[in-house]
Structure 1
Amino acid sequence: MAAHTTAPGVDLPLPKPRTKGTSRAPGEKSLVASPTTWIVWAGVAAFFIYLLGILISVIVDSLGRPWFDSWLPENATTDWYTGAWERFGMAQVIGVTLTVAISVIVLSVLIGVPAAYLLARRSFPFKRILTLLFLLPVLMPPITYGIPLATVMYNFGLGRSLLAVILVNLVPSVPFVIMTMTPFIEQINPTIENAARMSGANMRMVFQKILLPLLVPGILAAAVLVLVRTVGMFELTYLVSGPGSDTLVVAIYRAMTASGGGEARQLVSSMAVVYTVTMMVILIIALRYVSPTQLVARVKESRED
């Protein structure tokens, strides 16, 4: 027999059955999804089906011989990958792509983090105007400032060189680092730095011992953004690159337009698959060291401090 939790003789009111059309009690969840939820999930499913269809079609095209009367090729081959690797010098192109990406990441962090610290901690005249100038390369289409920038590079004799590719990619990458790091630094309580200075620490020690451990998640997040943008940047890289300094995305475009589009479509598809796999490997390695949930948690901790 169940034990009574009320005094003897006291009857508790029974819940009234809810009739049709009666609203639910506060906090009670409905087991039936709303039409809006179904529409959202249908849109997400359609997007992933569309994306998966594109990827599968490119992969199939890169592995099959020419076919016309069937959905799938009659036999598969990896000769297109071997041909693209030898014909377009894929080893050198991937090496150039990684060199440009790593160089841009390092330089962007070295320039952007101190600039973000000044914008977050200092007040000076024309601060808003300077912030707007930093945002212009992100807001404007790259081709609008890419042509004058490429003209400057060619006038200084840097055109079609690896250095030119790195320099032009710094223009949109540094603002990305500043945009990412400025709000992150603002969430760190400045009293921590003041306490360290009162204890005798100079600015270098404050940065190395106090700020840097707190900024590591933000720096890694900014590095991932710069990595993705640099590897996928076509306009700026195409304007100043040449043989020996083309990144992977530019090499794909040159393969598509070589000899008036005379290259086999399967060669271009195989290069696209290599580009996609390279990007996925880079992102998997990058996300191994930075997690969006870790970044949000660290910002929350900084707010509480």
Structure 2
Amino acid sequence: MTDVAVTSAEENTATLPEAGRRPIRHTLTGAITWGGLWLFVGGLLLAVATVLLASLTAQLAEGWLPRTYTTRWYAQSWATFDLGQLLVTTVEVGVAVVAVTLVVALPTAYVLARLTFPGRKLLLLLFLVPQVVPVMTYAVPLATLVYRLRLNDTLAGIVLVNLVPAIPFAVLVLIPFVEQIDPRVEQAARVCGATNRRVFVHILGPLLVPGLLAAGVLTLVRVVGQFELTFLVSGPDSQTLVVALYGAAVQAGELASQEINAMAVVYMLTTLVLLLVALRFVDPTSVAARDRRSGR
């Protein structure tokens, strides 16, 4: 009798799905979702491969693959467009925007995360506006202001216009990081005699390093890819890489297309490196989990 019970239990266990695994269900919605995802990835990789191959071809020819390969277009593009200076300008603008953004966004995020006051939700909604509305809706008024201040074609003017979307974005990124810190940690430090400055610098600062890295790197990625705001206020001496790439594409009839494609590859590699660095410090799923926990 015991052997029969053991055998029956083993059979039932074998038929049960493994713990923690869900049976795979094929649905129309899943097929459309995955199909659209792979179609998007395939189209993106095809576009990147097309630009890369075009930058390596010695002479334009019919067909997808070039007959001969060369890297001379990269050296020629570097000399023609002065890519070294463009990269320096791009880095200067990005670092300046990130520095000012973090200085302003950190205390703002702390206040919004710790305090409840009338108009808080409205203020958060206003911070969302630059992230959801088309950039050109506020780019033209900002550019007009910069021209009136005579800051056009200067790094200060470019940094100023890029701060408008960057600061609200960094605030929204930092708020969940502040909310996950237990307020009792600050209270215990104050009970031990720590001043507000020491609490902020020695207690909150180290705990917020992951959030500061996340906000800083993501802001840098956005600034490097920001075209409209930078284009409207930059000039020949203050162009960033993306603005210069647009100018080169406009002159496609005057310049060899391989040079423009080589410049595009440099821009793509720059952006890709920044994205990889961002993913090294930022896990989108963990940020979303923090946001869900803070909303409870």
Structure 1 length as normaliser, TM-score? Answer: 0.84
What is the Cα deviation at residue 66 of structure 1?
Answer: 3.3
Using the alignment, how far apart are the partners of 2:68 and 2:17 within structure 1?
Answer: 62
The yes-or-no answer on 1:53 pairing with 2:53 is no
- CA shift, 1:33, in A, is 5.4
Q: Partners of 2:152 and 2:274 in 1: how far apart? A: 28
Match of 2:233 among 240, 252, 259: 240
**Correspondence for 1:266 among 258, 273, 276:** 258
How far did residue 143 of structure 1 move?
A: 0.8
Residue equivalent to 2:249: 256
Structure-2 residue corresponding to 1:77: 70
Distance 1:91 1:115, change over 3 A: same
Which moved further from structure 2: 40-49 or 174-183? Answer: 40-49
Distance in structure 2 (CA, Å) of the matches to 1:206 and 1:28: 43
Give the Cα–Cα distance (whole angstroms) in 1 for the partners of residues 218 and 175 of structure 2. Answer: 15
CA contact (8 A) 2:176 2:287 kept: no
Task: Count the aligned residue pairs.
Answer: 289
The superposition leaves residues 175-209 of structure 1 with CA deviations (integer Å, 9 ceiling, x where unpaired) of 11110111221222111111111111011111122
Contact kept, 8 Å, 2:146 with 2:152, in 1: the verdict is: yes
Q: Displacement of 1:132 after TM fit?
A: 2.3
Contact 1:97 1:231 in 2 (8 A): yes
Tell me whether 36-45 or 53-62 shows the greater mean CA deviation: 36-45
Which residue pairs with 1:130 in the alignment?
A: 123
Match of 1:109 among 96, 99, 102: 102
SS at match of 2:188: helix
Shift of the 255–32 alpha-carbon distance from structure 1 to 2, 3 Å rule, reads same
The question of 1:231 aligning with 2:224 is answered yes
The structure-2 alpha-carbon separation of the partners of 1:28 and 1:97, relative to structure 1 and needing over 3 Å to count, comes to: closer
Q: Which moved more, 1:199-208 or 1:44-53?
A: 44-53
Q: 2:26 aligned to 21, 34, 40, which one? A: 34
Deviation of the 1:112 alpha carbon: 0.4
| Deviation digits for residues 260-282 of structure 1 (CA, Å, limit 9, x no counterpart) | 74322211111110001112223
The answer to whether 1:152 aligns with 2:145 is yes
5+ residue gaps, structure 2: none
Q: What's the offset of the Cα at 1:28? A: 8.6
3-state DSSP of counterpart to 1:144: helix
Alignment of 1:14 onto 2:8: yes
Which structure features the higher share of helix residues? 2
Unpaired segments ≥5 residues, structure 1 = 1-7
**Cα distance, 1:247 vs structure 2:** 0.7
| Separation (CA, whole Å) in 2 of partners of 1:109 and 1:119 | 15
Match of 1:283 among 256, 261, 275: 275
Provide closer, same or farther for how the CA distance between residues 155 and 30 of structure 1 changes in structure 2, counting only shifts above 3 A.
closer
Whether the 8 Å contact between 1:176 and 1:225 is mirrored in structure 2 is no
Aligned-pair CA distance for 1:122: 1.7
**AA partner of residue 50 (structure 1):** G
1:200 aligns with 2:193: yes
Distance 1:214 1:64, change over 3 A: same
Secondary structure of 1:249's counterpart equals helix
RMSD: 3.0
Distance 1:124 1:16, change over 3 A: closer
CA deviations 1:239-298 (Å, max 9, x no partner) are: 00011211111000011113x74322211111110001112223334544x141895599
Q: In the alignment, is the contact (CA less than 8 A) between 1:218 and 1:295 conserved in 2?
A: no
> What is the percent sequence identity of the aligned residues?
42
Q: 1:65 corresponds to which residue?
A: 58
CA deviation vs aligned residue, 1:39-67 (integer Å, no higher than 9, x gap): 54444333322221111110000010333
TM-score (norm 2): 0.87
CA contact (8 A) 1:217 1:294 kept: no
- Whether the 8 Å contact between 2:77 and 2:259 is mirrored in structure 1 is yes
CA distance in 1, matches of 2:53, 2:206: 46
